[in-house]
Structure 1
């Protein structure tokens, strides 16, 4: 996980997360985390956070704008509010945040370190180094404004930070993971999200080792006049021949988040979506609801749970289309449809019931969610379903009955 695992373009969006959604994101984010830690452990949750495709899908399933830069701020904020009260149980701590909160990261790390016993001084230095690399060693036109540090009791950590480019109205997110990291200036990122925008200066790439050493030698051994002469000669050489990319440059998967706000069929793997829907329809009314033993859960909630189950259990390759997960609980700006509050609250209720019983050794509800995810994957190989326009139109038709709400108000 010490190498880049992908990239994406994140449009900059203004606005705030309304309180009614922020509170629900806090509860749903915490209970999904609890389920992942219960099934797979803290290491797996940290791995998920360091994967940009999963992180975007995680935010989308919680009702945030599926493609915008706001997912980063809102997810980090929701996790900080939701996980820190559970830190004694989960052994996870979220520090930092946006703006002034980011500058509090070292002091928050010392506070946690004094409680649990890890080397807070070393981690505080790590926090500063990570920020320095992405703001100074990688000069790509993005100014950092968010720094989130998620650390476990054993000192293992993930850093997620984001920069903005006001001229292009774009953001770039940087993912770091402590596991496998041996050098802060030798290809340290787990991932960098952001569309390529011309040549950048990246002295944190392992392929820049010769360049870094060469710069030090130049400063030690050459006069300013000699350096200027060498630079002029290099410019003439560069203009005379177009160099190809280095052979050792890895081709990375790119998650291109489009400028359009509406969710389109081209943004979604319809085969996977049909599997999600079919699993909910076939399993839900028949026996899934009885198995969960949660009264009042409707078929629409089971559809949302099918996508939540995939966020918990899905492999990294399953998250190349984060727009699909916005169909669980909609979006605050009515894209793809208003947030169905009744469905959202039922999802939280089911998840809390499942996790609470699992703590007592009663695994049947969490296992039922896992089977729902497995069913989705089996069915997607041969089922077909309605097109996206039909699905979204159906959501709008029943929106008011499901408590549809957005930043524009309640659906009438």
Structure 2
């Protein structure tokens, strides 16, 4: 059976992703996926996508709101756009999305299966079952509105879907992975993210096997009307033990929109900054030849390098990865478009070179991640507030931009509200 990775609380946020960020997210998300596949293989990328902590950090490093439910929608959308031109080359296909796009998933899978050669009908059935389990078998009060299905050419897949609960303004994200999945209704989730809202009905728990069988028997014996009559006569049940997946380690994303020092592991941030400052001149000779690459870009690359190479325990503080490219709402600072574009160029350059057999650039990025971990034990750096203040001060120089830029007095307004 699939392993659960944990759970997390996600504030439910509305809004939109502007075109200037959505296009860049598609490019950066696509090239990060390429780099992971180049270094570790396609199965490793699927494994990471099924990990809720990594997924949240992945969205944060792309400049999306670091803690909100919108990361799920925007990352799925970015991957669908960013990987579509590369799907034959990588053997990776992204289906589904939010709302009406989610309902097209089975048809997309059948169509891709016809082209690629896997059983699209079987995967379409898997898609429907996954959605049914998280909407009907797991009755936790969250109504599904997003379903993303990422499938490889060999038929292995990951599903990421999300539900909302209007009463609490929260969202819950569910992660599934085909690897090791032997039963759709017996503890199938790779992970469930979301607020523990108290008692839930989870018929997908492995301990609920007798309950599932009894329901089938009851339906055959009494029929729907008879079951309703029986329910009317039942007394309220006593409190049940908390479901197993809610007791696993889980990521709690706070309601506050701004990033605070307590949200960031500063020693890890200082390690990345130190590696960028002291090691890059030695190790990044070739990368620094890419036009326009400067010290600030290397700092961002150091954090992107961790998304590519980091172990699962490195993603307990997704807020730290927002320090690479800021956030679209100005938290922690405006998205530095010049730095963002330079980061994409560096990664593309490294991936292209690696495919030609010249791995020096990809190895340099890997070493930057290694050096960050080594230096974080001793590195000193600016305080959190000082770091953020400096990013705000230099934001015009970096081409800083937020979603408020179309409004009157944009920069002054977002700066005031974000602080």
Instruction: State the TM-score, normalizing by the size of structure 1.
Output: 0.94
In structure 2, do the counterparts of structure 1 residues 128 and 249 end up closer, same or farther at CA, with 3 Å as the change threshold? closer
Distance 1:392 1:160 in 2: 32
2:294 to 295, 298, 302: 298
For the 8 Å contact 2:187–2:205, the answer to whether it is kept is: yes
Q: Is the 8 A contact 1:11 1:171 kept in 2?
A: yes
Q: How does 1:66-215 map to 2 (within 5 A)?
A: 66-215=66-215
Distance 1:357 1:220 in 2: 63
Q: Deviations over 1:282-303 (max 9, x none)?
A: 112x224413232321100000
Q: Which residue of 2 aligns with 1:322?
A: 318
Q: Distance in 2 between matches of 1:396 and 1:316?
A: 31
- Rounded Cα–Cα distance in structure 1 between residues aligned with 2:254 and 2:228: 47
Q: Which residue of 2 aligns with 1:338?
A: 334
Secondary structure class of the residue paired with 2:179: coil
In structure 1, the residue corresponding to 2:248 is in which secondary structure? coil
Partners of 1:266 and 1:113 in 2: CA distance: 47
CA RMSD of aligned residues (A): 1.9
Q: Which residue of 1 aligns with 2:416?
A: none
TM-superposed deviation, 1:243: 6.3
1:61 maps onto 2:61 in alignment: yes
Contact 2:60 2:322 in 1 (8 A): yes
SS at match of 2:15: coil
The structural deviation recorded for 1:160 is 0.5
**Using a 3 Å threshold, how does the CA distance of structure 1 residues 249 and 127 change in structure 2: closer, same or farther?**
closer
Deviation at 1:221, TM superposition (A): 5.6
Distance 2:62 2:246 in 1: 33
262, 266, 271: which is aligned to 2:262?
266
**Residue 374 of structure 1: CA displacement?**
0.1
Q: Could you say if the C-alpha distance between residues 353 and 411 of structure 1 is closer, same or farther in structure 2, counting changes exceeding 3 Å?
A: farther
Q: 2:403 aligns with which of 395, 403, 407?
A: 407
C-alpha contact 1:186 1:205 (8 A) present in aligned 2: yes
User: In the alignment, what sits opposite 1:23?
Assistant: 23
Q: How many residues are aligned here?
A: 404
How far, CA to CA, are the matches of 1:99 and 1:72 in structure 2?
13
Q: Is there any run of 5+ residues in structure 1 with no aligned partner, and where?
A: none
Q: Give the Cα–Cα distance (whole angstroms) in 2 for the partners of residues 313 and 306 of structure 1.
A: 10
Partner of 2:360: 364
Unaligned runs of 5+ in 2: 413-419
Is 2:344 the counterpart of 1:348?
Answer: yes
Aligned mates of 1:377, 1:395 — CA distance in 2: 23
Quick check: 1:218–1:227 contact (8 Å CA) kept in 2?
A: no
- Contact preservation (8 Å) 1:291, 1:368: no
What whole-Å deviation, never above 9, does each CA across 1:67-125 have from its counterpart, x for those lacking one? 00000000000100010110111000001111111111111112211111000000000
1:13 aligned onto 2:13:
yes
Distance (whole Å) between structure 2 residues aligned to residue 105 and residue 330 of structure 1: 32
CA distance in 2, matches of 1:397, 1:218: 67
Which one is further off, 248-257 or 379-388? 248-257
In the other structure, the counterpart of 1:313 is 309
Corresponding position of 2:275:
279
What per-residue deviation string (whole Å, max 9, x for no partner) do you get for residues 346-388 of structure 1?
0000001000111100001011000000000001112222211
- Identify which of 360, 383, 389 aligns with 2:385: 389
